[in-house]
Amino acid sequence: MAKKDPYAALRIKEFNIFLLVRFALVFAWSMQFVIIEWEVYSITKDPWSLGLIGLMEIIPAVGIALFAGHIVDQNEKRGLLIKCILGFSVISFGLFLLTWPKIVGDWSTNAILYSIYFLVFCGGLVRAFIGPTVFSLIALIVPKKLYPNAATWSSSTWQVASVVGPAVAGLSIAWIGVHWSMCLVVGFTIIALLNLFRISKKPILNPKIGEPIWSSLKEGVKFVYNTKAIFGAITLDMIAVLFGGAVALLPIFAQDILKVGSEGFGVLRAAPAVGAFITMWITAYIPVSKNAGMKLLAAIFGFGICIIVFGLSSIFWVSVVALFFSGVTDGVSMVIRQTILQLKTPDHMRGRVASVNSIFVGSSNELGAFESGLTAKLMGTVTAVVFGGTMTLITVVTTGIALPSFRKLDLQKELEDHEKED
């Protein structure tokens, strides 16, 4: 039944609430990131300053990721996520105040800039806990036989929100300005928080409550390394996203290369959202568990091609089409990777595995932003984007040749075994 019903996971009430919470949270987070990108570049006109935004978030997110995974595995997931969203709300409100001319009118440019970087750094601390908590919570809401279907809807929700948010940010900057755009961000964090209370508390499935932290962390890292399907998927995606972080340079393309302003910036950001939306429907009706390894390799290869085309384009609509297909391919990649993680990870280790994943993949967007800002400073914007796409292609080809077992990865049999158990 799970294989035939594309809406199987959506028939669970709490899962629908979970998707609403996730959409609101990711929408707010991604919208905030773009608003700050725009504000910082408007202040400095320096690509390096865009790279620093990613760096300020990635340092704490990676630095405490493993510790965060241990904490997640030791605590009740809904309550921990409530605390995370409260922390995010405080940070968003701080950025709202920092973009209010009446409050920062007498501040120097450096004082405003450093304050923004500080709040972004605090956001990285919160983010280190959000990823593992969300990953662990979804497994407590849906049965194992529905993991692929749930991963499809959850990943697609993340994908759509992560690009719709920036698209709305671009449009709202043009219509109501940076300050009131940040007010929208605060509003969506409140929506996420209120709906999270509609999900019941979940049991703690970890049999080793109180386990020494170093033993816990060692066990988590060892499990990921020894499970080649997980290790291969997250390593491949990390390198691809790291070098394919061209979207961090969109403010430069919109303002200086394509010359389309903030409204064109919004359209560019919206293009991957449309691609991700189509991906959501396709992967819901056509399962990705069969021949998962080859599908993942093909998706990331296609993503690299899209990034190169975008970098070389000087025509607005060609750039939009390239970004549209980057959303399609990235969405497929995400659904497959989340399916692998959900099926291969034991319940009591989900927090730690998700934390390792966040080090490899979850933070690679911000690290990719830093890499893009640095290479744009050294090579020029267009060359930096083409370089990133080329490195993505090389990574896919190398992985496919070096790991033949990954090419043959097929999750269909494991999924059928879970259905028989139920």
- Residue 89 has a pLDDT of 94
Cα–Cα distance for residue pair 99/181, rounded to 1 Å = 10
- Residue 272 has a pLDDT of 79
Indicate the average pLDDT of the chain.
82
- Residue 361 has a pLDDT of 67
- Residue 244 has a pLDDT of 67
Torsion of CA 219, 225, 231, 232, to 10 degrees: -170
Q: What letters, b where the CB count within 10 A reaches 16 and e where it falls short, cover 379-412?
A: eebbebbbbbbebbbebbeebbeebeebeebebe
- Residue 236 has a pLDDT of 77
CA nearest to 360, candidates 239, 210, 186: 239
What is the identity of the amino acid at 35? I
CA nearest to 136, candidates 363, 355, 362, 361: 355
Residues ≥6 apart with Cβ < 8 Å to 191: 24
- Residue 122 has a pLDDT of 93
pTM value surpassing 0.85: no
CA nearest to 239, candidates 361, 73, 107: 361
- Residue 211 has a pLDDT of 72
Kindly report, residue by residue over 374-388, the tens digit of the pLDDT. 777 788 888 888 888
CA nearest to 167, candidates 296, 295, 268, 54: 268
**Strand (E) or helix (H) holding 366:** helix 364-379
- Residue 3 has a pLDDT of 46
- Residue 2 has a pLDDT of 42
Q: Which residues of the chain have pLDDT under 50?
A: 1-3
What is the identity of the amino acid at 319? S
- Residue 403 has a pLDDT of 76
Kindly report, residue by residue over 7-66, the tens digit of the pLDDT. 888 999 999 999 999 999 999 998 998 888 888 888 877 777 777 887 788 788 778 888
Residue 221 CB: number of other CB atoms within 10 A? 17
Kindly report, residue by residue over 316-358, the tens digit of the pLDDT. 989 999 999 988 888 788 778 878 887 788 877 888 888 887 7
